[in-house]
Amino acid sequence: MEISKISSMNLIIMLVFVSGLVQAKAYYYRQCSAVGTRCNGQYIQCPAECPSSESSDPKAKVCLIDCDKPICKAVCRHRKPNCNAPGSGCFDPRFIGGDGRVFYFHGKSNEHFTLVSDSDLQINARFIGHRPDGRTRDYTWIQALGVLFNSQTFSIEATKTSQWNDKVDHLKFTYNGNELVLDESSLSTWYSPKRDVKVERVASKNSVIVTIEDVAEILVNVVPVTKEDDTIHNYQVPSDDCFAHLEVQFRFFALSPKVDGVLGRTYRLDFENPAKPGVAMPVIGGDDKYKTTSLLSPNCASCVFSQESSYEKENIKVAEFVTLDCTKFSNGMGIVCKK
């Protein structure tokens, strides 16, 4: 009897020990697999504050390894867009560029503009909005994103609704022209046939992360123009449309020195931000340069995207052939600074 108890106790201890080893491998270490980065192939320990890269709680922080950072260190972050961080585009719309500076780009309602155009990546946005009486320009918001890469296309949009209901999912997706369905459950995931595109729900509704392997990560959240927003900014939102729109934040893994676009140009090493410091709403133009004909069109006056280059991806990174001022740029550059 005593022997049986001891054996059972040893078995329990062994199971706990093995479970601890599995958990340590599954939850506390993440492999950096971004090809061409300094941290590629390394297993990096996640902080105790956020030991997992997944969570069923949309408000929880998760473990992120930024493979573009030379220190190869994991950090904790929220899984929804941070509208006050580089690479973000929120509100009407306000962007924070790769240089860390805030600027506004108003565009025009019901038209499309290129946010990022590189040799192997293009991201367009559809703007919605309206122009109340007495205004000289439209109030606008980002309603949809269209992404072109590797001879593939992907789109994500906020569906129109007159009254906002956060219990209803307002996201619509397409892949290569076909609508895709993503189960309405937290952490439900869709992969492209080659598994180079991943769409994962952060919450059961209205929040996702889109990952394009070795190219970009896009955090997306759908929100309405609230009555409070309307009162503060005097948008004069009509009763039949709450202008459901996207809050977005981008991380790019391999931008080239010639990247362009409303947001993309701010990641160029030679970009000089024309926005005046101290201005409450610094507006940067470019409507004529970045206007494109549709959500998935590769063409605009300043676009550099090429289907051929997209298919045969360039392996040369920015840091391999330029001198970088490491004091100038902020997050999301896909660049390694070396002393």
Compute the distance between CA of residue 190 and CA of residue 169 in angstroms, rounded to an integer.
16
- At which residue do the structure tokens 């059961």 appear? 204
Stretch 79-92: mean pLDDT, rounded? 95
Give the pLDDT score at 221: 97
Best-predicted range by mean pLDDT (4-13, 132-141, 259-268, 321-330) = 259-268
Asked if residue 96 has pLDDT above 80, the reply is: yes
Stretch 153-158: mean pLDDT, rounded? 98
Stretch 51-71: mean pLDDT, rounded? 76
Give the pLDDT score at 65: 73
Give me the residue spans of the domains in the chain: 2-78, 88-292
Positive or negative torsion for Cα 258, 262, 267, 269: positive
Residue 144, CA atoms < 13 Å, CB-side half-sphere:
21
Give the pLDDT score at 320: 35
Give the pLDDT score at 261: 98
Give the pLDDT score at 314: 40
- This prediction's pTM: 0.79
Give the pLDDT score at 223: 98
Per-residue pLDDT tens over the stretch 160-214: 999 999 999 999 999 999 999 999 987 799 999 999 999 999 999 999 999 999 8
Give the pLDDT score at 2: 52
Asked if residue 146 has pLDDT above 80, the reply is: yes
Give the pLDDT score at 217: 94
User: Which residues have a Cβ under 8 Å from the Cβ of 102 and sit 6 or more positions away?
Assistant: 94, 95, 96, 275, 282
Positive or negative torsion for Cα 42, 47, 48, 50: negative
Give the pLDDT score at 197: 97
Distance set, CA 89 to CA 16, 43, 113 (Å): 46, 32, 13
Q: Are 173 and 180 in contact (CB under 8 A)?
A: yes
Q: Which is it for strands 94-96 and 88-90: parallel, antiparallel or unpaired?
A: antiparallel
Average pLDDT, the chain: 83
Stretch 231-254: mean pLDDT, rounded? 95
Report which of residues 322 and 205 the model is more confident about: 205
Compute the distance between CA of residue 201 and CA of residue 134 in angstroms, rounded to an integer.
41
Best-predicted range by mean pLDDT (48-52, 69-73, 160-164) = 160-164
Per-residue pLDDT tens over the stretch 260-317: 999 999 999 999 988 777 788 898 989 999 999 999 999 999 999 987 766 565 444 3
Work out the percent of the chain whose per-residue pLDDT is above 90. Answer: 59
Give the pLDDT score at 74: 85
Give the pLDDT score at 335: 38
Give the pLDDT score at 75: 82
